[in-house]
């Protein structure tokens, strides 16, 4: 593999590539790492490589001419070559990407600097844009070092033990299991007995289990892509049951005050499907209670009839899971009744979140709201769902947060409330496994 790194600070790379596995791989002829000073290719007497952006704005941009000249000077070798730009807005670098890049014969890396590069550098020369994370550095040199080392690990012969990259974290979509070496005991901490047993079948099983456990605890998002068999999936289910996060979330389906299609305040009718489906979603995602806000006496009678059938009547024995879900439903006259009851139970007024199919200023995103709820575990939250053509402005304006709408890639935006509720609860409270 040949690496050509274009940078305004070539001396940056003197240290990272001069020891360890990268140095040994270069000595063996497995890697060739070249740095190219972009300033050398600037044609003015000051060796300028940056300039102010057209249209104004803060900061400077890397000029296109020196970069283009440096790229022209880099001789391509082999059949497969790639030009990479390190940039915060690139595709996030992963273990999977490192494996893919290891198949190339030559990788040329342009280290971004200043406020970025002239856009024409991307348009004319760059094959792939890479970011090593959602943060900003002064330049792309650190990112280039990360890419070179990670990619090189997958080049045959670079690592002394060919099994090492196969056992590393992320190989099977999992973090690596705990490792131990001598001494067997240290300050009361002992090496797990299974690792001393000599039984390689038991050791492999223990390692897989510990990998799953560590991934679940530290990076549960990785489990969605992990290669798991049925036994592994059963173990993940056990972990979920034993490690369920604590949060206090209530939901309320509002039948009044809401709008009709002429934006007049109305009371909407109880819908059997909405209550059944939202109740099941509520139990699935750990909601404390599901309130129906319905002031109409006749509608209340209908709701109570349905609930009685499934909770205490024939339905309870016919479908126990349905009975369990509907047992979480409470009927109240007003939203004020709901907030008062939650305050009495929790000792404080709930933070209210409204949902709507319409966009507005200063809306909160799903990930931010999820982080907020999970970080304030003792604080009660009340998620309000509208019927008809949406919640009345008096409810929207009094809420603490307005959640961004559920949407796809089309302009069609007319999901039934039970579907929207399921999507919202999944985005906020799914364990992502």
User: How confident is the model over 78-99, as a mean pLDDT?
Assistant: 94
Q: Which of 144, 153, 168, 17 is nearest to 87 (CA)?
A: 144
241 annotated active-site: no
User: How confident is the model over 203-225, as a mean pLDDT?
Assistant: 93
Among the listed residues 37, 65, 100, 115, the single catalytic one is 115
156 annotated active-site: no
Distant-in-sequence, close-in-space partners of 130: CB < 8 Å, separation ≥ 6: 84, 85, 86, 87, 90, 91, 92, 93, 97, 143, 147
Give the confidence band of 388 by pLDDT, cuts at 50, 70, 90. very high
168 annotated active-site: yes
Give the confidence band of 173 by pLDDT, cuts at 50, 70, 90. confident
Residue 164 has pLDDT above 70, yes or no: no
Among the listed residues 39, 51, 88, 100, the single catalytic one is 88
Residue 201 has pLDDT above 80, yes or no: yes
Q: Which of 388, 387, 396, 352 is nearest to 251 (CA)?
A: 352
How much is the pLDDT for 168? 62
Give the DSSP H or E segment for 423.
helix 417-429
pLDDT in tens, 111-140: 999 999 999 999 999 999 999 999 999 999
The tokens for 337 are 């009744």
Among the listed residues 153, 332, 402, 418, the single catalytic one is 153
224 annotated active-site: no
How much is the pLDDT for 160? 77
Domains of the chain: 2-152 (3.40.1280.10), 187-242 (1.10.1270.20), 248-429 (3.40.1280.10)
Taking CA atoms, 193 is separated from 28, 189, 197, in Å, by 40, 12, 6
């Amino acid at each position: 593999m040949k690496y050509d790194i274009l940078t305004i600070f070539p001396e940056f790379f003197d240290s990272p590539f001069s020891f360890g596995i990268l140095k040994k791989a270069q000595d063996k002829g497995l890697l060739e790492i070249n740095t190219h000073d972009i300033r050398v290719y600037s044609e003015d007497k000051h060796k300028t490589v940056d300039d102010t952006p057209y249209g104004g704005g803060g900061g400077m941009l890397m000029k296109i001419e020196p970069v283009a000249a440096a790229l022209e000077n880099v001789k391509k070798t082999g059949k497969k070559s790639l030009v990479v730009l390190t940039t915060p807005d690139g595709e996030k670098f992963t273990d999977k990407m490192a494996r893919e890049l290891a198949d190339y014969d030559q990788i040329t890396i342009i280290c971004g600097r200043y406020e970025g590069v002239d856009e024409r550098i991307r348009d004319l020369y760059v094959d792939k844009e890479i970011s090593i994370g959602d943060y900003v550095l002064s330049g792309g040199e650190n990112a280039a070092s990360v890419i070179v080392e990670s990619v090189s690990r997958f080049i045959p012969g670079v690592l002394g033990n060919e099994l090492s990259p196969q056992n590393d974290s992320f190989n099977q979509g999992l973090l690596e299991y705990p490792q131990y070496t001598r001494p067997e005991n240290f300050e009361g901490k002992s090496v797990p007995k299974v690792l001393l047993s000599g039984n390689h079948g038991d050791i492999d099983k223990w390692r897989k289990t510990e990998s799953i456990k560590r991934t679940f605890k530290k990076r549960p998002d990785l489990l969605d892509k992990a290669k798991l068999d049925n036994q592994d999936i059963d173990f993940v289910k056990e972990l979920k049951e034993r490690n369920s996060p604590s949060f206090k979330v209530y939901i309320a389906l509002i039948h009044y005050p809401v709008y009709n299609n002429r934006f007049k305040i109305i009371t909407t009718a109880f819908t059997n499907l909405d209550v059944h489906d939202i109740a099941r979603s509520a139990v699935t995602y750990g909601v404390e209670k599901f309130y129906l806000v319905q002031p109409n006496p006749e509608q209340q009678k209908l709701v109570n009839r349905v609930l009685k059938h499934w909770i205490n009547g024939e339905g309870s024995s016919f479908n126990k899971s349905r009975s369990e879900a509907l047992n979480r439903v409470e009927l109240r006259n007003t939203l004020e009744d709901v907030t008062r009851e939650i305050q009495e139970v929790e000792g404080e007024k709930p933070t209210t979140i409204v949902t709507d199919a319409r966009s507005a200023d200063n809306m909160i995103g799903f990930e931010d709201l999820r982080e907020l709820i999970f970080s304030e575990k003792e604080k009660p939250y009340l998620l309000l769902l509208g019927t008809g053509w949406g919640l009345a402005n008096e409810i929207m304006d009094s809420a603490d947060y307005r959640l961004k709408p559920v949407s796809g890639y089309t302009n069609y935006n007319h999901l039934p409330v039970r579907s929207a509720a399921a999507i919202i609860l999944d985005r906020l409270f799914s364990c992502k496994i």
